[in-house]
Amino acid sequence: MMEANNAGDHTYPHQPVLYHEVLSVLRPRSGGHYIDATVGAGGHSRGILESSRPDGSLLGFEIDPQALAIASQRLSVYKDRVTLVQASYTTLLDEMQRLGWPGVDGIVIDLGVSSMQVDSAGRGFSFQADGPLDMRFSPMQTVTAAHLVNTLDEVQLADILWRYGEELQSRQIARAICANRPFESTLQLADLIKRVGKRSHDRIHPATRTFQALRIAVNQELQAIEVFLPQAVEALLPGGILAVISFHSLEDRLVKQYFRRESKDCLCPPRQTVCTCGHRAQIVEVSRRPIVAAETEVSSNPRARSAKLRVVQKKLA
């Protein structure tokens, strides 16, 4: 959901990452059924609906009520061609069943954090502006970043920072957090990490990995991806396309490994001469290398630099 300025859209000042690339691989058509699993402000959804005129249909998921309100207003012009639900993309098959859709022609999911969330200090995602340690995608969620920071023990905190942030100084940071809590604000935590952490050679802010780790833990993002991917493949009609945009190595690794596994006919160990697993490939990788943003897009939206688009097609038979 990372979004950038779009001079071509005067009704809304944002456009999602890899917009043209997503439409190119999905190839929306009139009469098709499509899913935007992370609607955000509606950028990808709008492109799909425009490209599938006059009667393509779209089901959109968004758990953030603020983003959903914007998307609902922006996409209202498409009337009954679009159905938006405030729900996690992990409920994809349930929502399809409610609509009576037996399958879909294409699915896009953008796993990035929306710029609307990052730029809003009150949401607690940013270490560059002071706000509450929240980081929830939806206010319906009960666990906040403050809850994790102020209640977990040192070992649990270090594990989260290492597992979800790949933070090399996870133990030192966890120890310092436990010695100086409670923490209530983003800058309070970021300032502590700056004092404790050693300078990074890649010039990223010292708090970057810790904040990423807490956000992923709060929203259980990796677990949600693991639930979503099999559902998405099941939902596709033969020949249907699944396009996944990720922004960090943990997400991309999950997606890559799942796509590789489900594009193989046998998962038995290489030394085993006779297949006993019975596994059959469900998908075909459109490209083994991810699609990345062009320099022109990166120059106008630096957040696009880390975006990776992986695409698979449901096997025809």
Query: pLDDT by residue (tens digit) across 84-116?
Result: 999 999 999 999 999 999 999 999 999 988 766
Among 175, 197, 219, the domain boundary falls at 219
79 and 165 assigned to the same domain: no
pLDDT at residue 162, rounded to an integer: 97
CATH number at residue 85: 3.40.50.150
User: For the chain, what is the mean pLDDT?
Assistant: 91
Domain range for 162: 130-219
Confidence of residue 6 (pLDDT cuts 50, 70, 90): very low
Q: Which residue would you say has higher pLDDT here, 202 or 53?
A: 53
Query: Residue 163 and residue 244: Cα distance in Å, rounded?
Result: 22
pLDDT band at 5 (very low <50, low <70, confident <90, very high): very low
Report the alpha-carbon distance of residue 89 to residue 263 in Å, rounded: 22
Q: Which residues are CB-contacts of 13 (< 8 A; sequence separation ≥ 6)?
A: 5, 6
In one letter, which amino acid is 178? C
Q: Residue 182 carries which side chain, given as an amino acid letter?
A: P
Burial of 259 (0-12, 13-18, 19+ CB in 10 A): buried
Residue 125 falls inside a structural domain:
no
68 and 40 assigned to the same domain: yes
User: Same domain for 213 and 227?
Assistant: no
What pLDDT shows up at residue 309? 98
Residue among 212, 63, 220, 214 at smallest CA distance from 145: 214
Among all chains, which residue has been given the structure tokens 């970043």?
145
Note whether 218 and 139 are within 8 A (CB).
Answer: no
How many Å apart are CA 63 and CA 218, to the nearest integer? 14
| Residue 171 located in a structural domain | yes
- Please count the structural domains in the chain: 2
Residues 41 and 173 in one domain: no
pLDDT of residue 200: 59
Phi, psi of 286 (to 5 degrees): -65, -40
pLDDT tens figures, 255-281: 999 999 999 998 898 888 888 898 999
Closest CA to 106 of 220, 179, 24: 24
- 81 within 8 A of 216, measured Cβ to Cβ: no
Residue among 39, 15, 26, 142 nearest 92 (CA): 39
Residue 201 exposure: Cα atoms within 13 Å on the Cβ side: 1
Whether residue 238 sits in one domain with residue 153: no
What region does 286 belong to: left with phi over 0, alpha with psi -120 to 50, or beta?
alpha
- The residue written with tokens 């959109």 in the block is 60
Residues 289 and 176 in one domain: no
Q: What is the pLDDT of residue 202?
A: 63
* Rounded Cα–Cα distance for residues 184 and 233 (Å): 41
301-315 average pLDDT score: 93
Q: Is there a single domain that holds both residue 306 and residue 230?
A: yes
Q: How far apart are CA 314 and CA 106, in angstroms?
A: 10
DSSP string spanning 208-228? Answer: HHHHHHHHHHHHTHHHHHHHH
**What does the pLDDT read at residue 205?**
86
Q: What is the pLDDT of residue 302?
A: 85
3-class SS shares of the chain: helix, strand, coil, % to 5: 45, 15, 40
pTM of the model: 0.90
| Domain final residue, candidates 171, 194, 219 | 219
pLDDT tens figures, 180-231: 999 999 999 999 999 987 665 667 889 999 999 999 999 999 999 999 999 9
CA angle 257, 278, 280 (to 5 degrees): 50
The token pair that represents 194 in the structure block: 């700056």
Same-domain pairing of 179 and 207? yes
pLDDT given for residue 9 in this prediction: 44
d(CA 269, CA 267): 7
Query: How far does CA 243 lie from the centroid of its chain?
Result: 11
Both tokens assigned to 288: 């083994």
Same domain, 136 and 271: no
Strand partners, 308: 246, 292
